[in-house]
Structure 1
């Protein structure tokens, strides 16, 4: 797996870490591996994400995306085959994320099918939109310290999409499994990063995660 040039500047050599990635996303895995982390992929059960309560009227998008990340992380933390008492498991940090796009107050998650992907892309075409990623980190060895949580935001602008390009992109299947039916890592899409982190748009905000990991390291060193 390779990273496009527009993400390379976000990928300095990281310290070797034992990471449990609570995600089946190949894009998140590629970013984690590029950091130099030792990664174990443990996706949450599909039923966990599917059964998550829908967003309430009183819940902001930031609260909602963080709740989804928390649900994924806690599900993986509860998987006893991973969190045994071995030192290796206890030293690991679980990272769970959830990413949503938002345009004009409408949240866009992963499209259900081709028609849903078309709907999302038509909404984004020629507009600026937000990408929010909820991040949940927990290191079992630091129990009873609570997990670390954060929300990262980026702004993107998509150029107007022609009908021929839209049909080509839908035929390609590259929209599958991506919030808003589009992937920043695909350089063929006319997307421009206006503000924030490119890695956040891919689904793993590296700068924020590095800071959160450093905070966990400081907590561990405290007497």
Structure 2
């Protein structure tokens, strides 16, 4: 055995996913899109697609793009991990808000209701792709318009599915969670660890 720990590539710009991988003790390198790659295009919704199908399709598309990136850059081979998180209210998909008005609309819709947070994970392990899906339920207390306004003004909602981050001040409105806290943050640690174990990646 070499004394170098095994590493993987993380195909994500999310600092929370990095943090969560660190928590598992998994050494990783970022494999981020080139400036000319349209990464956001991968997240476009298709008519009639369920939130579950959507989040899994986007995750596999991110993984495919990352594999092409690694081979185009001639990087040394190591496993590649991709993930995508979406917020679903019924069959409605709440992606990242386009602007403040969009963030307000989402936060109003989630206020006083229970929604689902779906995070799909895909691991390319050299010969095969392993996938998992984490589904959690989140109940949000009723929020006043003033509270929503303050939260939007904080800048937190931007770049986050459903216009919120569970590890932000929004947590003060989350009444109940059923499922995976790390999955709601963006990388379900149990499911990710299971995929790594299946791929015989040492944790």
TM range (shorter): 0.7 to 0.9
Question: What residue in structure 1 maps to residue 162 of structure 2?
Answer: 180
Take 1:47 and 1:179, find their aligned partners in 2: how far apart are those partners? Answer: 18
Please say if 1:213 is aligned against 2:196.
yes
Between stretches 207-216 and 181-190, larger displacement belongs to 181-190
Question: What residue in structure 2 maps to residue 191 of structure 1?
Answer: 174
Match of 1:41 among 30, 39, 46: 30
Contact 2:112 2:143 in 1 (8 A): yes
Question: 1:32: Cα distance to partner?
Answer: 1.2
Please say if 1:138 is aligned against 2:124.
yes
Q: Indicate how the Cα distance of structure 1 residues 51 and 186 shifts in structure 2: closer, same or farther if over 3 A, else same.
A: closer
Q: Indicate how the Cα distance of structure 1 residues 83 and 166 shifts in structure 2: closer, same or farther if over 3 A, else same.
A: same
Take 1:25 and 1:164, find their aligned partners in 2: how far apart are those partners? Answer: 29
Question: What residue in structure 2 maps to residue 128 of structure 1?
Answer: 114
Take 2:81 and 2:192, find their aligned partners in 1: how far apart are those partners? Answer: 9
Contact 1:44 1:72 in 2 (8 A): no
Please say if 1:170 is aligned against 2:161.
no
Match of 2:68 among 53, 73, 78: 78
* TM-score with structure 2 setting the length: 0.87
Take 1:17 and 1:62, find their aligned partners in 2: how far apart are those partners? Answer: 31
Take 2:44 and 2:158, find their aligned partners in 1: how far apart are those partners? Answer: 22
Which 5+ residue runs of structure 1 have no aligned equivalent? 1-15, 219-223
Question: What residue in structure 1 maps to residue 79 of structure 2?
Answer: 93
Deviations 1:95-152 (Å, cap 9, x if unpaired)?
1011110113211011011110000000000100000111110122xx2xx2001211
Take 1:164 and 1:78, find their aligned partners in 2: how far apart are those partners? Answer: 46
Q: Indicate how the Cα distance of structure 1 residues 69 and 51 shifts in structure 2: closer, same or farther if over 3 A, else same.
A: closer
Between stretches 186-195 and 202-211, larger displacement belongs to 186-195
Question: What residue in structure 2 maps to residue 153 of structure 1?
Answer: 135
Secondary structure at 1:150's aligned position in 2?
strand
Question: 1:51: Cα distance to partner?
Answer: 4.8
Contact 2:151 2:170 in 1 (8 A): no
Secondary structure at 1:78's aligned position in 2?
helix
Contact 2:164 2:170 in 1 (8 A): no
Take 1:52 and 1:178, find their aligned partners in 2: how far apart are those partners? Answer: 13
Alignment size in residue pairs = 194
Between stretches 191-200 and 104-113, larger displacement belongs to 191-200
